[in-house]
Structure 1
Amino acid sequence: MTAVVLLAELGEEEHEEVAQETEPGAPTEPTPTTDTTETTETETGAGTTESTEGAGDPVAGKDVFLAAGGCGSCHTLADAGTTGTIGPNLDAASPSADKAVERVTNGAGVMPAFKDTLSEQQIQDVAAYVSSAAGG
C-alpha cells in the first residue's frame, strides 16, 4: 500500500513539473532571426518613397562588367570603354537597374543567364553600374 501511495505522489510531481514547463500564458523568449537583405528607401518626390532591396554598388559593378561577367565582349558601354557588337549597345538601350538584374539573371535571346555564374550581389552591382553609366 505504501508503494502505491508513493508512486501516486511521484506521478503527481512529474505532472506538476510538465504543467509548469508548458503552462499557457507563460512568457517565452523570442527566437532571434537574421535578416541579410539590405533595404534602402529613396525619396522619389511628391513625398513618396521607393524601397530597393539589395541595391547594388556601381563601383563594384564596373569591375564585374569588365572582369567576372565579361560583359564588354558582347556589349558596347562608353563608360567601360567596351565596343562589343553581339548584344545591345547599352548606351542606346539605357536599361533600368531592375531590367538589367532581370536580363543578367535570366538571360534573353543570345545572352546567357548568369544566375549560376555570378553571385546575387555581383548581379545587383553590375546592374547598378550599367544603369548609372548608361543613364537608365
Structure 2
Amino acid sequence: MKIPACVAAFGAALVLAACGGGSDGESTPTPAQGGGGGAADGAALFTQNCANCHTLAAAGAKGQVGPNLDDLRPGPDLVKSQTENGGGAMPSFKGKLSPEQIQAIADYVSENAGKS
C-alpha cells in the first residue's frame, strides 16, 4: 500500500484515518514531481497531494476530510497560504513541495473550483 502525502507528512495512524486510508494507490510525491525543469503541473500535483482529502470535480477528487473546494471556490492566495502553512488536520507542504509547485496547485484549484 502506498501512503498518501497527508499521511506521510504526519506519519500517524490518526491522520491515516482522516485522509481516507490511502489504499487508492496514490504515491507520495517528491519535491521534483511536477517540476521537471518546466512549469509545474497543477492538476497532477493536486491529484498526488490533495485529492485524498479534498473534493474537486475537475480533478475527479472526492475526498471528504478537508473542505469541498468546489463549494469553497478559494482564490489562489488562500490556497497558497493554506498549502504552505497547513491548518487543522491539513499538513504544511512548505519544504515538501517547491514554491513553484505550491503556486501551480493554487492556480489550478482557483481556476477549476466550482467547474466540472
**Partners in 1 of 2:47 and 2:88 — Cα distance?**
21
Compute the TM-score of the two structures, normalised by the length of structure 2: 0.62
Deviation at 1:108, TM superposition (A): 1.2
Aligned residue number for residue 42 of structure 2: 61
Counterparts of 2:113 and 2:107, CA distance in 1: 10
What are structure 1's unaligned runs of at least 5 residues?
A: 1-56
Q: Which aligned segments of 4 or more residues in structure 1 are displaced greater than 2 angstroms?
A: none
* Aligned counterpart, 1:88: 67
TM-score (norm. length: structure 1): 0.54
| Structure 2 residue ranges without an equivalent (≥5) | 1-38
Higher CA-based Rg: 1
Q: 2:56 aligns with which of 77, 98, 106?
A: 77
C-alpha distance in structure 2 between counterparts of 1:66 and 1:82, whole Å? 7
Structure with more of its chain in helix, by fraction? 1
**Within the alignment, does 1:134 sit opposite 2:102 as a pair?**
no
The one of 73, 87, 90 aligned to 1:108:
87
**What RMSD, in angstroms, separates the aligned Cα atoms of the two structures?**
1.4
**Residue aligning to 2:102:** 123
Following superposition, the deviation at residue 89 of structure 1 comes to 0.3
